[in-house]
Structure formats: structure tokens, C-alpha cells
């Protein structure tokens, strides 16, 4: 019988410890990248920063993974793609837009890679101070 407690225990400093060198894996649901395809949207007042891992899969010869971080203010957001690995070709570009309501993380397929499938994971960090204009 499956017992989730076999996979986790309390870690140091209130962390969650994965037993036996456990890991997480991810599989969809996937979306397809075209021009300015929305990866994620969140309310600007909810989170001040976020980190994403995006896995892009066009075909057996064209795969890519990108790690990026986003910082958000009232009318400005900054995206830093700090790590990227692929099989020889960049498949997508990332961008971020913000208004006083929400933040959009967008993905755009490069020419020839339209329709590439992508999945992502995210970690969000809540605002510690309220946003003001």
C-alpha cells in the first residue's frame, strides 16, 4: 500500500526532507509555444518574486530547459534567464509584462520552432510589504 510518509520526513530548519535521495518529476499538462504565449499569470500584489524552470520539447533533436527569476513592482517587472541548456538551438524567448493588476510571463517560439511543447514549475515568494503606486 502506498504511504506518502515513506518518502518524506522533517528536515533541518523546518524543511521537508526527501528520503533516500528522492526527487520530483514533472509531466504536463503541456502548452504549445507560439508568439507571446502565456506561461503564467499572477496578481501583482500577491507575489513580489518568482522562479521558474521551463522545459521545452520540439522533437527528439530539439529540447531546451531554462531557469529564470522574475521580480515585480507596481509598474515594472524584471526577468533574468540565468541558466539555459539545449541540444544546440535556442527554441524560445521569454518576456514579462506587468500592469497594476497582474503579471504575465510569456514565451515566444523562435522561427521554425512554433508549436514546441512546454511545461514548467514555479516557486512564488509573497510580498512582505504592500505594493503602493
The pLDDT tens digits for 73-129 are 878 999 999 999 999 999 999 999 998 889 999 999 999 999 999 999 999 999 888
Structural domains in the chain (count): 1
Residue 1 counted as domain residue: no
133 — pLDDT class (breaks 50, 70, 90): low
State the residue range of the domain holding 50. Answer: 30-126
What mean pLDDT do residues 12-22 have? 91
Residue 114 lies in a domain: yes
CATH code assigned at 42: 2.60.40.1680
- Check: CB of residue 20 under 8 Å from CB of residue 99: no
Residue 1 has pLDDT above 90, yes or no: no
Element (H, E) at 81: strand 77-86
Nearest CA-CA partner of 118 in 40, 1, 14 = 40
Asked if 66 and 57 touch (Cβ cutoff 8 Å), the reply is: no
Is the link from the previous residue into 46 a cis peptide, with omega within 30 of 0? no
**pLDDT at position 5, please?**
86
Phi-psi region for residue 96, left (φ > 0), alpha (ψ -120 to 50) or beta? beta
Amino acid at each position: 500500500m502506498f504511504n506518502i510518509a515513506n518518502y518524506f520526513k522533517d528536515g533541518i530548519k523546518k524543511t521537508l526532507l526527501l528520503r533516500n535521495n528522492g526527487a520530483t518529476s514533472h509531466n504536463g499538462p503541456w502548452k504549445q509555444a507560439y508568439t507571446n504565449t502565456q506561461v503564467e499569470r499572477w496578481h501583482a500584489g500577491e507575489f513580489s518574486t518568482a522562479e521558474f524552470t521551463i522545459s521545452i520539447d520540439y522533437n527528439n533533436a530539439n529540447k531546451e530547459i531554462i531557469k529564470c527569476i522574475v521580480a515585480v513592482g507596481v509598474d515594472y517587472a524584471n526577468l533574468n534567464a540565468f541558466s539555459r541548456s539545449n541540444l544546440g538551438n535556442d527554441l524560445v524567448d521569454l518576456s514579462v509584462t506587468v500592469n497594476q493588476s497582474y503579471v504575465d510571463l510569456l514565451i515566444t517560439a523562435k522561427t521554425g520552432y512554433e508549436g514546441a511543447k512546454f511545461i514548467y514549475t514555479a516557486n512564488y515568494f509573497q510580498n512582505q510589504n504592500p505594493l503602493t503606486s
